[in-house]
Amino acid sequence: MPRKDFIAIDNFSFSYGAAKVLHGINMDIPEKQVTALIGPSGCGKSTLLRNMNRMNDLIEGVQHEGDIRLDGKSLYDPNVEVISLRKRVGMVFQKYNPFAKTIYENVVFSLRVAGRNKRSELDDVVERTLRSAALWDEVKDRLHTSAFGLSGGQQQRLCIARAIANQPEILLMDEPCAALDPTATLRIEDLIRDLKEQFTIVIVTHNMEQASRCSDLTAFLYMGELVEYDRTLKVFETPKEERTEAYISGRFS
Amino acid sequence: MSASSSKFSTTGRSRTGEPLVWLTAVGLTIGVLLSVGLIGLVMYKGFESFWPARLVVVEVRQEGGENSKVAGYLVQERSKRTLEGLVEEEIQLFRGNRELFGEKFVFLDREAIVSQTEEEDLILVERLEGGNVIGRAKALELGGSETLEASAEGFDEKLDELTERGEELRDELREIEKIKIGENSKRVKELRWLEKKGSSPERAEELAGLLAEYEKLDGQRKELREQLEESTFVVEAMDGRELKIPTGELLHVFAANQVGFFGRLKETIRRAWTFVSTDPREANTEGGVYPAIFGTVVMTLVMSLFVTPFGVMAAIYLREYAKQGPLVKAVRISVNNLAGVPSIVFGVFGLAFFIYFLGGVVDDWFFSNSEEPVYKSGGILWASLTLALLTVPVVIVATEEALASVPRGVREAALACGASKWQAIQRVVLPASLPGILTGVILAMARGAGEVAPLMLVGVVKSAPDLPIDAVAPFVHPERQFMHLGFHIYDLGFQSPDSEAAKPMVFATTLLLISIVVVMNLTAIIIRNRLRKKYAVSSF
């Protein structure tokens, strides 16, 4: 039975120096579902996402209050090693960013840094992962060529493959289609629907259609507060809050 | 200009900035012209010094006497103003034959020249010592009283044969002198030094054996020397006097007026090859610059070997690990300023720190048996280290920039894959910045290869025929002094006893130094482009 509060965000506030960007967010993200975070620019949705694998730790002068629990365990527990946490939480970025390596080496990167270098294992992982990222047929003949030779959409799917190669439990996607054309966007959306069988997916998007097309739950954030969080259908068809309706219908952005 | 016109006139030239465009174009043009002029001059003069000139016989009117004849090749024509204000035209001729005339060059007044003819049978003889000889072949005095006249059949073949034989003998002699006698006397010196501290019978025995062997080698050496002087080549100068050149000293005989264009081209190539492949002779004014090429290349490569890891590591710490603040800022400014410190200062530092201090420590620890300093004197290792220090700011700055230009997203992606910070740097950031780092190394190499001043203090010498890498155990001699093309240019141009004769060599050496720097840079650039293509990184 999938857990309802796989990621439990508990009264979570966050600030960059003096600027507070998240104000006491409470939400439970269920396992093996796609949860979309929507909201106008600067509402804190990316910040919230980047806290789920503690990527914001890299920035100096950040502070948080409250807690985020992953499968019941706090991310900020002093015993939690940030590296092993990130192995459980894969991430895909807005701008596709493959490494200056071959396609093959890009996919197996997370295994290599974990010290897994057995050739046969890596070969299996590459094939399986690229198949789940719907990229295998396009690149199987040129695995050992530079990743920069791929098209933008292919590079982004490669980045998704890279993020899921080491079997994380959660996949965070920060506007994964923002830099892609509509066709490539549709392919990524198909991929997201396929991947939710295996992973818990949290996706930040600016695109309302995208959120309604591929997410199960939608959270609307505004000015660092969680305004509304429910089943996607409900949020889009019968929003409880007026602000949500205004945003969805495009009255402000 | 009134306010309204400046506000509304948009067609004026000053508004569109066209004069500035012209100005920038002029700046570029001057730069390009200067570079092209410099390279052009060096190339022209450099190649010219290898091109064999025609030999001419000039008949000069002598006051109150018979006309005299001078043979040689034209070096330059010039006009000078005398004290009375008259213009005198004169030509400079290289006539060689130093032991007959004293000076190798002569100036002849144009007015006094009766005739100028190219005679078929003039030859130019290159020999080991004494400079070139110009004249007519007369005879070969073979050992004993046998003589072969120049007109006799098979003279040319015999001359070639003897020249070749001379080269073989010289090679044999070098082997005995350099390697065998060298090793022998090195060991003898060591034993004698140990003997001073306390004698032992085994040592005395070894010493006696070595001395006996030395006698034998010395005998062989004398024998070879005699063989070298067995036969002589007799050349007749224009005034009828004879010059006797032992065939063991002959390098090349060239009949300059008997060959056509391709013959002269062949001679040019031969001369150029001799120049790059042989040792210098006659206080560097003759012969080649091979040891200097070797020294320059080895020193530059060793320098890059030191400077690359050192600079890259420093840059990684500065950019990736150090907490950015006033201290790091100060360090960065200091590093940048280090690039502006006059290079001779680095030479002084190298002398004080590397040679006197480090060299002294190394000698104390490992070479206390040696009477002479081994590492406590200038050598190629210390010179390379000094230059590495000089060029490290270049690598640090370039590497820092290359690291900074790796997009943040790429680092974050690596971290998001569960990489530690070091793994992210080592596996993702460094490969992505490799082309930029190589650019820094290329710049460092270019700077290092052209640097002369600091080298004079830390190991470059006028003449060092023993190369830092050779066939004598232990094959690599980082403590050896070495020759350097840059210093060679200085030495030829300003320290030479015969600056007139050295002038063409200065240009040829300059051309060579430029070519070597270009070749080394091109190699590095090709490597960088390969890497770039491999990863298709668009920046830098």
- Domain-embedded: residue B37: no
Residues B336, B446, single domain; the answer is yes
A-chain CB neighbours of B436 within 8 Å are: none
Residue contact B413–A97, C-beta within 8 A: yes
Residue contact A83–B414, C-beta within 8 A: no
Total residues found in chain A within this entry = 253
pLDDT at residue B535, as a whole number: 62
Residue B325, chain A, CB below 8 Å: the answer is no
Per-residue HEC secondary structure of B229-286 comes to CCCEEEEECCCCCEEEEEHHHEEEEECHHHCCHHHHHHHHHHHHHHHHHCCEECCCCE
User: A51 to chain B: nearest residue by CA?
Assistant: B416
As for the ipTM of the complex, it is 0.89
Residues B496, B470, single domain; the answer is yes
Residues B414, B509, single domain; the answer is yes
Residue B530, chain A, CB below 8 Å: the answer is no
Quickly count: other Cβ atoms within 10 Å of residue B506's Cβ: 22
Q: Contact at 8 Å (CB) between B396 and B315?
A: yes
- Domain-embedded: residue B412: yes
A-chain CB neighbours of B415 within 8 Å are: 55, 58, 86
Which phi and psi (to 5°) does residue B346 adopt? Answer: -65, -35
- Domain-embedded: residue B237: no
Q: Which two tokens stand for residue A158?
A: 């490669």
Residue B531, chain A, CB below 8 Å: the answer is no
Long-range CB contacts (< 8 A, 24+ apart) of B522-527?
Answer: B524/B438, B524/B441, B524/B442, B524/B445, B525/B442, B527/B438
Which residue in the set A84, A100, A113 is minimally distant from B417, CB to CB? A113
- Domain-embedded: residue B310: yes
What amino acid occupies position B140?
L
DSSP letter (8 states) at residue B175: I
Q: Contact at 8 Å (CB) between B496 and B502?
A: yes
Using CA atoms, how far apart are residues B130 and B126, in angstroms rounded to an integer?
9
Among residues B468, B477, B406, which one has the least CA distance to residue B436?
B406
Residues B76, B109, single domain; the answer is yes
pLDDT at residue A253, as a whole number: 53
- pLDDT tens-digit readout, B413-449: 999 988 888 999 999 999 888 888 988 998 898 888 8
Whether the CA torsion B429, B433, B438, B444 is positive or negative: it is negative
Supply the angle between the helices B290-316 and B380-404 in degrees, to the nearest 10: 40
Using CA atoms, how far apart are residues A56 and A50, in angstroms rounded to an integer?
6
Place of tokens 């990524």: A188
Among residues B293, B268, B291, B273, which one has the least CA distance to residue B281?
B291
Mean pLDDT on B120-130: 86
Spell out the residues 6+ positions from residue B274 whose beta carbon is closer than 8 angstroms to its own: B252, B287, B288
Helix, strand, coil in percent for chain B, rounding step 5: 60, 15, 25
Among residues B491, B428, B424, which one has the least CA distance to residue B455?
B491
Whether omega before A176 lies within 30 degrees of 0, making that bond cis, reads no
Supply the angle between the helices B290-316 and B261-277 in degrees, to the nearest 10: 60
Total residues found in chain B within this entry = 540
Residues B339, B486, single domain; the answer is yes
Long-range CB contacts (< 8 A, 24+ apart) of B514-523?
Answer: B514/B39, B514/B42, B516/B293, B516/B296, B516/B297, B516/B449, B516/B485, B517/B445, B517/B446, B517/B449, B517/B450, B520/B297, B520/B300, B520/B445, B520/B446, B520/B449, B521/B442, B521/B445, B521/B446
- Domain-embedded: residue B320: yes
Instruction: Please give the helix or strand (H or E) that residue A231 lies within, else none.
Output: strand A225-231
pLDDT at residue B1, as a whole number: 42
Among residues A11, A177, A2, which one has the least CA distance to residue A93?
A177
B-chain CB neighbours of A100 within 8 Å are: 428, 431-432, 535, 537
Work out the percent of chain A whose per-residue pLDDT is above 70.
99
Spell out the residues 6+ positions from residue B196 whose beta carbon is closer than 8 angstroms to its own: none
Domains defined along chain A, listed by start = 7-248 (3.40.50.300)
Shortest distance, CA A233 to any CA of chain B (angstroms): 31
pLDDT of B498 above 80: no
A-chain CB neighbours of B418 within 8 Å are: 83-84, 86-87, 110, 113-114, 166
Residues B127, B153, single domain; the answer is no
pLDDT at residue B331, as a whole number: 92
Q: Which domain holds residue B159?
A: 143-230
- Domain-embedded: residue B21: no
Residue B430, chain A, CB below 8 Å: the answer is no
Place of tokens 């040689």: B72
Using CB atoms within 10 A of its CB, is residue B165 exposed (0-12), middle (13-18) or buried (19+)? middle
pLDDT band of B303, cuts 50, 70, 90: very high
Residues B375, B512, single domain; the answer is yes
Residues B264, B296, single domain; the answer is no
pLDDT band of B540, cuts 50, 70, 90: very low
Residue contact B417–A110, C-beta within 8 A: yes
- pLDDT tens-digit readout, B312-367: 999 999 998 888 889 999 999 998 888 888 999 999 999 999 999 998 898 888 88
User: B536 to chain A: nearest residue by CA?
Assistant: A148
| Mean of all residue pLDDT scores within chain B | 85
Residues B364, B503, single domain; the answer is yes
- Domain-embedded: residue B117: yes
Using CA atoms, how far apart are residues A24 and B136, in angstroms rounded to an integer?
106
- pLDDT tens-digit readout, B97-113: 888 887 888 888 888 88
Q: Contact at 8 Å (CB) between B319 and B395?
A: no
Residues B431, B382, single domain; the answer is yes
Residues B149, B105, single domain; the answer is no
Residues B195, B329, single domain; the answer is no
pLDDT band of B213, cuts 50, 70, 90: confident
Mean pLDDT on A221-234: 90
- Domain-embedded: residue B430: yes
What is the separation, in whole angstroms, between the first and last Cα of chain B?
44
Radius of gyration of chain A (CA): 18
Counted domains in chain B: 3
User: B323 to chain A: nearest residue by CA?
Assistant: A60
Spell out the residues 6+ positions from residue A11 whose beta carbon is closer than 8 angstroms to its own: A24, A25, A26, A65, A66, A67
